[in-house]
Structure 1
Amino acid sequence: MEIIVGTYEELLLAYNLVDSDKGFTLQQSFTNHNHTGCIKCLNVSKNDILVSGSTDETIQLINLKSRKETGSLMEHSGTVTSLNSFDDYLISSSEDGSICIWDVKSWQCLKTLKKHKSAVFDVAIHPSGKLAISCGKDNTLRTWDLTNGKCAFVINTTAASLKWNETGKHYIAITGNKIDTYEMETGKKTTTELSYPICSSLFISETELLVGGEGGHLEIIDLISGEKRLSIDSQMKRVKCLTCSLVQEGPNNPWIIAGSSDGMIKIFRLDKEGSTWSSSLVAKHDTKFRLTCIAIRETGPVSCESDDSTE
């Protein structure tokens, strides 16, 4: 597993997770300073291209196999706010109010969606790849038919973050400390309020959401009942970003990778028995930089030696 983080200080940092006599450790694999602004979002495409978006209004591309920079995408005229991939496509959003659909083979912009009246905060793609939702500063949530690039319908919301669950039956819209969960078929909305501002989130089951927030809060919330399934003592300042690996042990034992604004990367192993979750710390590393976003490149189960190859 290779973990890549973006920083407020314009750097991209990458680390390999290595198993040794001392336990799991993170060993730095590369550093890149191609951006000239804070890095806001990351994505790893299926052809192992690292895609990064920044306040410098560019999207930079790095081939993770060769470690070479392969180009820049400069369609946006504002901060790049989100990057999401599905099959052979990448969807980017920007503070300029636009959403771009890219072909990851040619890196051509196939279509630009312009319905938001101001900055787009986030975009989430339905698991089918046929539908997307977006939210923005204009206080709207827009549903997009990706087969024709048209906006299907609009609802009012002040949400700044969006997520689909793995089946696409539910999606969430997060505003501050509030999570609105929508049922796709009926439109029914369930609201969960927490005691702290939410900075990051990640579905770990059909209705269970891992939430990271201010003060180092890291909790699993059941979105239907509103119950807390697990509270993890992260000892972080602010859980700014989250991602997950299922390669090691499968869906009942996901490995969660959390990044904090105080520079820490921590990996937790989650265990589920029935409806009960528990956690254990696998590894931690202080990057010394302020982390803003995170992505992983799955390279198979962690071996007992560092993998310094480029394949």
Structure 2
Amino acid sequence: MLPNIEIIVGTYEEFLLGYQLKQQSEEDGDQVVLKQTFADKSHAGSLKCVAVQGPWIASGGSDDRIFVYDMRTRKQSQILLSHSGTINSLVFSPDLTHLLSGSADGHMIATRVGSWKTEGDWQKAHAGAAVTHVSCHPSSKLALSLGGDQVLHTWNLVKGRVAYKTNLKSKSTLGSAPDCLCWSPDGEHFTLSGPLVVEIWEIKKAGVARREKTPAKPICVAWLNGRVCLAGLENGSIVWISLDAPEDEAAKNISAHEVRIKAMSYFDGTLVTASSAGELKIWSCDIEKQELEHLTSTNIGCRPTCMALLDLSSFKSECPQTSKVVAPKHTNQEKSNVVAAPKPRGVVTIEFEQDENPTIEDDDNSTTSDDTDSAKKSKTNHKKLKQDEESVGQSDDDDCEKSDDSIADFSDSESFGTDGFSNDSDSNQRPAQRKRRNPTPVGAKKAKPKQAKKE
């Protein structure tokens, strides 16, 4: 079963790349392939170091900047501008509380994870010389650092100060620039390398537990467990170093690449190596037999400078997952049974003229002609109603001009019955209408009733 990891590679061409292991089914059987997951070009210079822990990725380069990525959302989270020189080393504390960084400006800085605020800044961590390597103990309480002054510093991270110093200038085997500083998984040992040697130091002895000579210069180191480590050499080979092997027994040399091995990382039985030619190889490790089985490889097309492995099972991704909806396929018989949708009908345009008899362009549309007829009838009826109202208003005005006496005579006429209808035999005569009285003028005064005179 393939490990659930993502390979993070920093390159000289300013790219940060991601790769994952996938199983691809073919005719010969299932094969393991490497597929690229992302490519980011945020740096303005070549990448020098990369660190991973939990969902976080931090990359440092020659542009004096540190970029932080949150792999839960797969987005850039923060840009740290606390250094004024090339970032040489980056490491997260295992408890994921701080990010330690060493730079060519001589500063070693501790940055709080989450708030990304600087909580510790040792401006002259190595007497003003460049800080080249930083490695954090698995307990997150100690850290080791190497600098241009060739002094190994042991830091007490609880108190935030140097616990003790080890001068490496007297170590002729390590040369003028010690390299490959790396803690073992159990925290009991760490490695240092020189031009043609790899040394494993033990904390209890405070000295070298095993020294292994190499045919070429060691470039990188990867621990398999607390007792076994591998060293990648400049000639492309891998040296298998075990603390349990006899002292007089030479370490096993395994040919891996044609050119120098620039970076190497191990996780859960899987070893990943990257050469200066851009070749990325995946190996399956058998610790008991001291064997490496090649699984797959690819060429990234860039020159790798650093590498780290991200454990995807240690966090939950928050990226939205898109699902593909596949339309069902219809057979020829089903296609013949499918009824085609009717085409949209044409649009009928109706125009009206100003004369009394409007003409319609579409004679076939009977419904529109009926609507126009009803519209004409409603218009004529409306005109008749207006004429009747005007005639009634005129008659009312004429009647209002009559005197009050005529109104009294009209009400006392004997030719009308009590119901207001004529007593004549002509039944077609219309019923009488009671005429309106003239309203009292606004300025007129009402007559006061006469009072009876007292006798």
TM-score (norm 1): 0.89
Task: Tell me the percent identity.
Answer: 31
**Structure 1 134/187 Cα, relative in aligned 2: closer, same or farther at 3 Å?**
same
* Greater helix proportion: 2
Q: How far apart are residue 161 of structure 1 and its match?
A: 2.6
Q: How far apart are residue 154 of structure 1 and its match?
A: 1.0
State how far apart, in whole Å, the 1-side matches of 2:194 and 2:263 are: 16
Identify which of 257, 264, 282 aligns with 1:235: 257
Q: How far apart are residue 54 of structure 1 and its match?
A: 0.3
Q: How far apart are residue 232 of structure 1 and its match?
A: 2.7
Query: Which one-letter code corresponds to 2:131 in the other structure?
Result: V
The range that moved more, 101-110 or 138-147, is 101-110
Q: Which residue of 2 aligns with 1:97?
A: 106
Which of the pair has the greater relative contact order for Cα pairs under 8 Å at 6+ separation? 1
Instruction: Describe the superposition over 1:138-167 as per-residue Cα deviations: whole angstroms up to 9, x where unpaired.
Output: 111111100011111111124123111122
Q: How far apart are residue 85 of structure 1 and its match?
A: 1.0
Q: Which residue of 2 aligns with 1:152?
A: 163
State how far apart, in whole Å, the 1-side matches of 2:131 and 2:145 are: 7
Q: Which residue of 2 aligns with 1:259?
A: 274
Structure 2 unaligned blocks of 5 or more: 169-176, 322-455
Does the residue aligned with 2:18 lie in a helix, a strand or coil? Answer: strand
Q: Which residue of 2 aligns with 1:304?
A: none
State how far apart, in whole Å, the 1-side matches of 2:146 and 2:232 are: 20
State how far apart, in whole Å, the 2-side matches of 1:180 and 1:42 are: 24
Aligned residues of 1:236 and 1:264 also touching (Cα < 8 A):
no
Identify which of 119, 125, 147 aligns with 1:115: 125
1:162-173 alignment to 2 at 5 Å?
Answer: 162-173=181-192
Q: Which residue of 2 aligns with 1:269?
A: 284
Query: Which one-letter code corresponds to 1:298 in the other structure?
Result: D
Identify which of 282, 291, 311 aligns with 1:278: 291
**Structure 1 127/228 Cα, relative in aligned 2: closer, same or farther at 3 Å?**
farther
State how far apart, in whole Å, the 1-side matches of 2:78 and 2:103 are: 19
Q: Which residue of 1 aligns with 2:214?
A: 194
Large movers: runs of 4+ above 6 Å:
none
Instruction: Describe the superposition over 1:149-206 as per-residue Cα deviations: whole angstroms up to 9, x where unpaired.
Output: 1111111124123111122222222122222222212213243221101111011122
Does the residue aligned with 2:205 lie in a helix, a strand or coil? Answer: coil
Identify which of 217, 226, 236 aligns with 1:216: 236
Corresponding position: 1:43 with 2:54: no
State how far apart, in whole Å, the 1-side matches of 2:117 and 2:241 are: 39
Larger Rg: 2
Corresponding position: 1:10 with 2:14: yes
Q: Which residue of 1 aligns with 2:88?
A: 81
Instruction: Describe the superposition over 1:221-277 as per-residue Cα deviations: whole angstroms up to 9, x where unpaired.
Output: 12464545543321341111111121xxxxxxx10011111101101001133xx31
Does the residue aligned with 2:312 lie in a helix, a strand or coil? Answer: coil
* Greater strand proportion: 1
Q: Which residue of 1 aligns with 2:307?
A: 294
TM-score (norm 2): 0.62
Aligned residues of 2:18 and 2:38 also touching (Cα < 8 A):
yes
Q: How far apart are residue 310 of structure 1 and its match?
A: 6.3
Structure 1 unaligned blocks of 5 or more: 247-253, 302-306
